[in-house]
Amino acid sequence: MTTPTLALAHLTILGTPPPVMATLAATAGYRSIGIRLLPATSSEIRHDMGPGSYLLKETRKALEDTGITVLDVEALSLDSKISRDDWLVALDVARQLGARILNVIGSDWTRDRLIDRFALLAADAEGFGIRASLEPISYQAVSTIEDASSIVTEVGRGGIMLDTLHFQRAGSQPEDIENVPLAQFSMLQLSDGPIAERKEVAIPANDPMGQREGATARELESRVLRDLPGDGEFPLVRLLRRLGPTIPVSVEVPNPALLEHMGEAGYIKLAYQKAASLLHDAYEAPAAEASPTNQRHLASVTTYPTDDWQDKR
Protein backbone atom coordinates (compact mmCIF):
# COMPACT_ATOMS: atom_id res chain seq x y z
CA MET A 1 0.00 0.00 0.00
CA THR A 2 1.31 3.43 -0.93
CA THR A 3 1.64 5.71 2.09
CA PRO A 4 -0.93 8.48 1.62
CA THR A 5 -0.09 12.11 2.07
CA LEU A 6 -2.54 13.35 4.66
CA ALA A 7 -2.90 16.62 6.54
CA LEU A 8 -4.43 17.14 9.97
CA ALA A 9 -6.97 19.96 10.16
CA HIS A 10 -6.69 22.24 13.18
CA LEU A 11 -10.41 21.96 13.93
CA THR A 12 -9.82 18.30 14.81
CA ILE A 13 -7.84 19.38 17.88
CA LEU A 14 -8.60 23.10 18.01
CA GLY A 15 -7.56 23.47 21.65
CA THR A 16 -4.01 22.40 20.80
CA PRO A 17 -1.47 25.16 20.05
CA PRO A 18 0.04 24.89 16.55
CA PRO A 19 3.61 23.95 17.60
CA VAL A 20 2.31 21.08 19.74
CA MET A 21 -0.04 20.07 16.95
CA ALA A 22 2.87 19.85 14.49
CA THR A 23 4.74 17.46 16.78
CA LEU A 24 1.68 15.30 17.43
CA ALA A 25 0.82 15.18 13.72
CA ALA A 26 4.32 14.07 12.76
CA THR A 27 4.26 11.27 15.33
CA ALA A 28 0.87 10.08 14.04
CA GLY A 29 2.08 9.88 10.43
CA TYR A 30 0.69 13.05 8.88
CA ARG A 31 2.80 15.03 6.42
CA SER A 32 1.03 18.37 6.82
CA ILE A 33 -1.27 20.35 9.08
CA GLY A 34 -3.78 23.14 8.74
CA ILE A 35 -3.56 26.10 11.12
CA ARG A 36 -6.40 28.30 12.32
CA LEU A 37 -5.09 31.86 12.06
CA LEU A 38 -8.48 33.56 12.13
CA PRO A 39 -11.48 32.49 14.22
CA ALA A 40 -14.66 31.37 12.50
CA THR A 41 -16.72 32.27 15.58
CA SER A 42 -16.40 34.89 18.32
CA SER A 43 -16.40 32.37 21.17
CA GLU A 44 -13.84 29.78 20.10
CA ILE A 45 -10.36 29.19 21.51
CA ARG A 46 -7.80 31.40 19.81
CA HIS A 47 -4.07 30.95 19.40
CA ASP A 48 -2.18 34.21 18.88
CA MET A 49 -0.31 33.63 15.65
CA GLY A 50 0.09 37.29 14.75
CA PRO A 51 3.24 38.72 13.17
CA GLY A 52 6.15 38.54 15.60
CA SER A 53 4.21 36.44 18.12
CA TYR A 54 5.82 33.82 20.34
CA LEU A 55 3.53 31.11 18.96
CA LEU A 56 4.41 31.95 15.37
CA LYS A 57 8.11 31.65 16.18
CA GLU A 58 7.61 28.36 18.03
CA THR A 59 5.41 26.98 15.26
CA ARG A 60 8.01 27.69 12.61
CA LYS A 61 10.62 25.97 14.77
CA ALA A 62 8.36 22.94 15.26
CA LEU A 63 7.74 22.72 11.52
CA GLU A 64 11.47 22.78 10.86
CA ASP A 65 12.19 20.19 13.56
CA THR A 66 9.48 17.74 12.45
CA GLY A 67 9.47 18.22 8.68
CA ILE A 68 5.73 18.89 8.82
CA THR A 69 4.45 21.39 6.25
CA VAL A 70 1.42 23.67 6.38
CA LEU A 71 -1.17 22.81 3.75
CA ASP A 72 -3.69 25.52 4.58
CA VAL A 73 -4.56 28.32 6.96
CA GLU A 74 -8.07 29.27 7.98
CA ALA A 75 -10.69 30.63 8.45
CA LEU A 76 -11.17 33.92 6.64
CA SER A 77 -14.85 34.87 6.73
CA LEU A 78 -15.37 37.05 3.69
CA ASP A 79 -18.19 39.26 4.94
CA SER A 80 -18.86 42.99 4.78
CA LYS A 81 -16.74 43.66 7.89
CA ILE A 82 -13.34 42.20 7.11
CA SER A 83 -10.87 44.65 5.61
CA ARG A 84 -8.10 44.19 3.10
CA ASP A 85 -5.60 45.08 5.82
CA ASP A 86 -6.95 42.16 7.87
CA TRP A 87 -6.37 39.61 5.15
CA LEU A 88 -3.00 41.02 4.14
CA VAL A 89 -1.75 40.40 7.69
CA ALA A 90 -3.11 36.84 7.57
CA LEU A 91 -1.51 36.24 4.18
CA ASP A 92 1.86 37.47 5.44
CA VAL A 93 1.74 35.03 8.36
CA ALA A 94 0.57 32.26 6.03
CA ARG A 95 3.56 32.88 3.80
CA GLN A 96 5.91 32.71 6.79
CA LEU A 97 4.41 29.31 7.59
CA GLY A 98 4.79 28.10 4.01
CA ALA A 99 1.04 27.59 3.58
CA ARG A 100 -0.26 26.82 0.09
CA ILE A 101 -3.98 27.47 0.57
CA LEU A 102 -6.13 30.08 2.34
CA ASN A 103 -9.52 28.84 3.49
CA VAL A 104 -12.25 31.37 2.66
CA ILE A 105 -15.83 31.26 3.92
CA GLY A 106 -18.23 33.06 1.59
CA SER A 107 -20.41 34.61 4.28
CA ASP A 108 -21.53 37.82 2.54
CA TRP A 109 -25.10 37.43 1.28
CA THR A 110 -24.68 40.39 -1.10
CA ARG A 111 -23.35 38.40 -4.03
CA ASP A 112 -21.89 41.17 -6.19
CA ARG A 113 -19.89 42.50 -3.25
CA LEU A 114 -18.74 38.99 -2.35
CA ILE A 115 -17.49 38.40 -5.89
CA ASP A 116 -15.66 41.73 -6.05
CA ARG A 117 -13.96 41.18 -2.71
CA PHE A 118 -13.04 37.59 -3.47
CA ALA A 119 -11.44 38.78 -6.70
CA LEU A 120 -9.29 41.23 -4.74
CA LEU A 121 -8.47 38.67 -2.05
CA ALA A 122 -7.55 35.97 -4.56
CA ALA A 123 -5.28 38.37 -6.43
CA ASP A 124 -3.59 39.44 -3.20
CA ALA A 125 -3.16 35.80 -2.16
CA GLU A 126 -1.46 34.95 -5.44
CA GLY A 127 1.10 37.65 -4.66
CA PHE A 128 2.01 35.66 -1.55
CA GLY A 129 2.13 32.36 -3.44
CA ILE A 130 -1.14 31.22 -1.85
CA ARG A 131 -4.39 30.03 -3.43
CA ALA A 132 -7.52 31.55 -1.88
CA SER A 133 -10.10 28.77 -1.83
CA LEU A 134 -13.80 29.06 -1.13
CA GLU A 135 -15.18 26.40 1.18
CA PRO A 136 -18.89 25.84 0.50
CA ILE A 137 -20.62 25.63 3.89
CA SER A 138 -24.19 24.40 3.90
CA TYR A 139 -25.45 27.21 6.15
CA GLN A 140 -23.49 30.08 4.58
CA ALA A 141 -24.05 32.26 1.50
CA VAL A 142 -21.74 30.07 -0.59
CA SER A 143 -23.23 26.68 0.20
CA THR A 144 -22.55 24.37 -2.76
CA ILE A 145 -19.65 23.54 -5.04
CA GLU A 146 -21.67 25.00 -7.91
CA ASP A 147 -21.98 28.30 -6.02
CA ALA A 148 -18.25 28.37 -5.38
CA SER A 149 -17.37 27.36 -8.93
CA SER A 150 -19.46 30.13 -10.45
CA ILE A 151 -17.53 32.69 -8.38
CA VAL A 152 -14.13 31.19 -9.12
CA THR A 153 -15.00 31.03 -12.82
CA GLU A 154 -16.15 34.66 -12.92
CA VAL A 155 -13.12 35.88 -10.99
CA GLY A 156 -10.70 33.74 -13.00
CA ARG A 157 -8.53 32.78 -10.02
CA GLY A 158 -8.74 31.06 -6.65
CA GLY A 159 -10.09 27.60 -5.94
CA ILE A 160 -12.55 25.43 -4.04
CA MET A 161 -12.01 23.57 -0.78
CA LEU A 162 -14.49 20.68 -0.62
CA ASP A 163 -15.65 19.65 2.86
CA THR A 164 -17.32 16.24 2.76
CA LEU A 165 -19.76 17.01 5.58
CA HIS A 166 -20.97 20.26 4.05
CA PHE A 167 -21.06 18.62 0.62
CA GLN A 168 -23.43 16.00 2.00
CA ARG A 169 -25.56 18.43 4.02
CA ALA A 170 -26.00 20.67 0.98
CA GLY A 171 -27.69 17.73 -0.76
CA SER A 172 -24.83 17.12 -3.19
CA GLN A 173 -23.81 13.78 -4.68
CA PRO A 174 -20.43 12.56 -6.00
CA GLU A 175 -21.76 12.84 -9.54
CA ASP A 176 -22.10 16.61 -9.00
CA ILE A 177 -18.30 16.83 -9.21
CA GLU A 178 -18.84 16.63 -12.97
CA ASN A 179 -20.45 20.10 -12.83
CA VAL A 180 -17.18 21.72 -11.79
CA PRO A 181 -13.80 21.86 -13.57
CA LEU A 182 -11.55 19.47 -11.68
CA ALA A 183 -8.70 21.99 -11.63
CA GLN A 184 -10.76 24.30 -9.42
CA PHE A 185 -10.55 21.93 -6.44
CA SER A 186 -7.57 22.82 -4.27
CA MET A 187 -8.10 20.32 -1.43
CA LEU A 188 -10.55 18.03 0.36
CA GLN A 189 -11.53 18.15 4.04
CA LEU A 190 -12.41 14.59 5.00
CA SER A 191 -14.94 13.44 7.59
CA ASP A 192 -17.87 11.03 7.74
CA GLY A 193 -21.37 10.94 9.17
CA PRO A 194 -24.90 9.62 8.74
CA ILE A 195 -26.75 10.25 5.49
CA ALA A 196 -29.78 11.50 7.42
CA GLU A 197 -29.17 14.90 8.93
CA ARG A 198 -28.83 14.92 12.69
CA LYS A 199 -31.82 16.63 14.30
CA GLU A 200 -30.25 17.32 17.69
CA VAL A 201 -26.63 17.78 18.70
CA ALA A 202 -25.62 18.44 22.29
CA ILE A 203 -22.92 20.96 23.10
CA PRO A 204 -20.10 19.07 24.84
CA ALA A 205 -18.79 20.37 28.15
CA ASN A 206 -15.27 20.58 26.71
CA ASP A 207 -16.29 22.42 23.53
CA PRO A 208 -13.28 24.41 22.21
CA MET A 209 -15.69 26.48 20.13
CA GLY A 210 -17.31 27.85 23.30
CA GLN A 211 -20.76 27.58 21.76
CA ARG A 212 -23.97 28.43 23.53
CA GLU A 213 -27.59 27.53 23.06
CA GLY A 214 -29.03 28.83 19.81
CA ALA A 215 -26.68 27.19 17.33
CA THR A 216 -28.44 24.95 14.83
CA ALA A 217 -27.94 21.18 14.78
CA ARG A 218 -26.18 21.54 11.43
CA GLU A 219 -23.74 24.10 12.83
CA LEU A 220 -23.06 22.01 15.91
CA GLU A 221 -22.56 18.82 13.93
CA SER A 222 -19.94 20.49 11.76
CA ARG A 223 -18.03 21.79 14.77
CA VAL A 224 -18.26 19.05 17.41
CA LEU A 225 -19.77 15.82 16.04
CA ARG A 226 -18.06 14.53 12.93
CA ASP A 227 -17.44 10.82 12.42
CA LEU A 228 -14.07 9.33 11.55
CA PRO A 229 -13.59 8.39 7.87
CA GLY A 230 -15.25 5.05 7.18
CA ASP A 231 -17.35 5.10 10.35
CA GLY A 232 -20.35 6.79 8.73
CA GLU A 233 -22.45 6.51 5.60
CA PHE A 234 -21.13 9.23 3.30
CA PRO A 235 -20.17 7.98 -0.20
CA LEU A 236 -16.56 8.90 0.39
CA VAL A 237 -14.90 6.34 -1.88
CA ARG A 238 -17.06 7.43 -4.82
CA LEU A 239 -16.29 11.06 -4.06
CA LEU A 240 -12.55 10.47 -3.79
CA ARG A 241 -12.51 8.57 -7.07
CA ARG A 242 -14.30 11.43 -8.80
CA LEU A 243 -11.72 13.91 -7.50
CA GLY A 244 -8.72 11.74 -8.32
CA PRO A 245 -5.70 10.66 -6.28
CA THR A 246 -3.68 13.87 -6.51
CA ILE A 247 -5.99 16.13 -4.48
CA PRO A 248 -4.56 17.04 -1.04
CA VAL A 249 -6.65 15.53 1.76
CA SER A 250 -7.01 17.05 5.23
CA VAL A 251 -8.63 15.04 8.02
CA GLU A 252 -11.16 17.30 9.75
CA VAL A 253 -13.00 15.33 12.43
CA PRO A 254 -13.85 17.52 15.44
CA ASN A 255 -15.39 15.33 18.13
CA PRO A 256 -14.50 16.63 21.61
CA ALA A 257 -16.13 13.71 23.42
CA LEU A 258 -14.11 11.08 21.55
CA LEU A 259 -11.00 13.24 21.74
CA GLU A 260 -11.29 13.46 25.53
CA HIS A 261 -11.84 9.70 25.79
CA MET A 262 -8.85 8.74 23.63
CA GLY A 263 -6.46 11.62 24.20
CA GLU A 264 -4.96 13.77 21.44
CA ALA A 265 -2.26 11.34 20.29
CA GLY A 266 -4.56 8.32 20.18
CA TYR A 267 -7.40 10.14 18.49
CA ILE A 268 -5.42 11.70 15.66
CA LYS A 269 -3.54 8.43 15.08
CA LEU A 270 -6.82 6.56 14.71
CA ALA A 271 -8.10 9.30 12.40
CA TYR A 272 -4.97 8.91 10.29
CA GLN A 273 -5.37 5.13 10.08
CA LYS A 274 -9.04 5.41 9.13
CA ALA A 275 -8.32 8.01 6.45
CA ALA A 276 -5.40 5.99 5.05
CA SER A 277 -7.61 2.90 4.80
CA LEU A 278 -10.26 4.90 2.98
CA LEU A 279 -7.76 6.30 0.49
CA HIS A 280 -6.47 2.78 -0.13
CA ASP A 281 -10.00 1.57 -0.87
CA ALA A 282 -10.58 4.51 -3.19
CA TYR A 283 -7.40 4.39 -5.23
CA GLU A 284 -5.74 0.99 -4.86
CA ALA A 285 -8.15 -1.76 -3.79
CA PRO A 286 -10.54 -3.48 -6.24
CA ALA A 287 -14.14 -3.39 -5.04
CA ALA A 288 -14.02 -7.01 -3.86
CA GLU A 289 -10.97 -6.33 -1.69
CA ALA A 290 -12.11 -3.09 -0.10
CA SER A 291 -12.67 -3.06 3.65
CA PRO A 292 -16.22 -4.11 4.60
CA THR A 293 -17.01 -0.65 5.96
CA ASN A 294 -16.28 0.95 2.61
CA GLN A 295 -17.51 -1.68 0.13
CA ARG A 296 -20.97 -0.13 0.02
CA HIS A 297 -19.48 3.13 -1.28
CA LEU A 298 -17.92 1.53 -4.37
CA ALA A 299 -21.02 0.85 -6.46
CA SER A 300 -21.53 2.66 -9.75
CA VAL A 301 -18.04 4.14 -9.90
CA THR A 302 -16.16 4.25 -13.18
CA THR A 303 -12.39 4.46 -12.74
CA TYR A 304 -9.92 5.78 -15.27
CA PRO A 305 -6.13 5.76 -15.41
CA THR A 306 -4.76 8.91 -13.80
CA ASP A 307 -3.16 10.14 -17.03
CA ASP A 308 -6.44 10.27 -18.97
CA TRP A 309 -8.79 11.25 -16.13
CA GLN A 310 -9.04 14.81 -17.47
CA ASP A 311 -10.01 13.53 -20.91
CA LYS A 312 -12.97 11.60 -19.47
CA ARG A 313 -14.45 14.54 -17.61
SS3 labels along 202-266: CCCCCCCCCCCECECHHHHHHHHCCECCCCCCCCHHHHHHHHCCCCCEEECCCCHHHHHHHCHHH
Q: Which residues pair with 306 in a beta bridge?
A: none
pLDDT of residue 103: 98
Prediction pTM value: 0.89
Q: Which helix (H) or strand (E) holds 152?
A: helix 145-155
Q: At what angle do helices 145-155 and 111-127 cross, to 10 degrees?
A: 60
pLDDT values of the chain reduced to their tens digit, one per residue, 313 residues: 455 589 999 999 999 999 999 999 999 999 999 999 998 888 899 999 999 999 999 999 999 999 999 999 999 999 999 999 999 999 999 999 999 999 999 999 999 999 999 999 999 999 999 999 999 999 999 999 999 999 999 999 999 999 999 999 999 999 999 999 999 999 999 999 999 999 999 988 888 888 777 789 999 999 999 999 999 999 999 999 999 999 999 999 999 999 999 999 999 999 999 999 999 999 986 654 444 444 444 433 333 233 332 232 2
pLDDT of residue 304: 26
- Residue 80, CB-side half-sphere exposure with 13 Å CA sphere: 7
Q: Which residues pair with 159 in a beta bridge?
A: 133
* Contact between 109 and 141 (Cβ < 8 Å): yes
CATH level 3 topology of 6-312 = TIM Barrel (3.20.20)
